A = this chain, B = another copy of it.
């Protein structure tokens, strides 16, 4: 028997806000978890606060110094965020980030006795980021069930990826149906201190194309 308690990874972006809405809609008691991991800007942490508050769910932000590991444009100021599409794995890839975030969510789930972890990975990222592939999620889930008390005591922990096979436009349509206010979210890799998007990075491009494909107005606040 699995319970209805869930840890929901919340980055402050469009995808994870939608995932939180979907988890709530499915009746889960949601506990949002965010990370202050040394990302370039705090705008996304502030966004996650606003989103959790809008949904009225508990929210914890865990400090974690990924900057000391480096290796990504998102945690190392000396590596520039690309503003044109690139081949292969992008420099914005943070080494093992989803593995690290899911592992910490696993620890939190164990403390809360939650049998579900929601994460907003999606197929659009698949080609670029290895840790967004369905095979990775399956392998993580299998490992997680061996890693924890739950595995020993006969619970079953599941990693829920409700948007893994949705396009950006489908994600947005789903979120709007569930009342997500996307003006609260920040997706940009280099947002300014006010949370305004650059409009040029990969993440901005995917997001803007998503709103266009969904046929709805883009509520994103862009830098002048």
Contacts and interface: CB of A to CB of B under 8 A. Distances in A.
Interface of A: 60, 62-66, 68-71, 89, 93-100, 102-104, 106-108, 110-111, 130-131, 133, 135-136, 139-140, 142-144, 146-149, 151-152
Contacts of A143: 99, 136, 139-140, 142-143
Nearest to A71: B111
A100 B98 contact: no
B100 A96 contact: no
Nearest to A61: B68
Given A62-B65, A69-B62, A133 B104 contact: no
A159 to B, nearest CB: 11
Contact of A107 (B66, B107, B146): B66
Contacts of A64: 63-65
A112 to B, nearest CB: 9
B107 A130 contact: no
Which one of A94, A97, A143, A149 has the highest number of Cβ atoms from chain B below 10 Å of its Cβ? A143
A63 to B, nearest CB: 4
Given A106-B99, A136-B146, A152-B130, A60 B68 contact: yes
Contact of A100 (B70, B107, B142): B107
A97 B89 contact: no
Contacts of A146: 130-131, 133, 135-136, 139
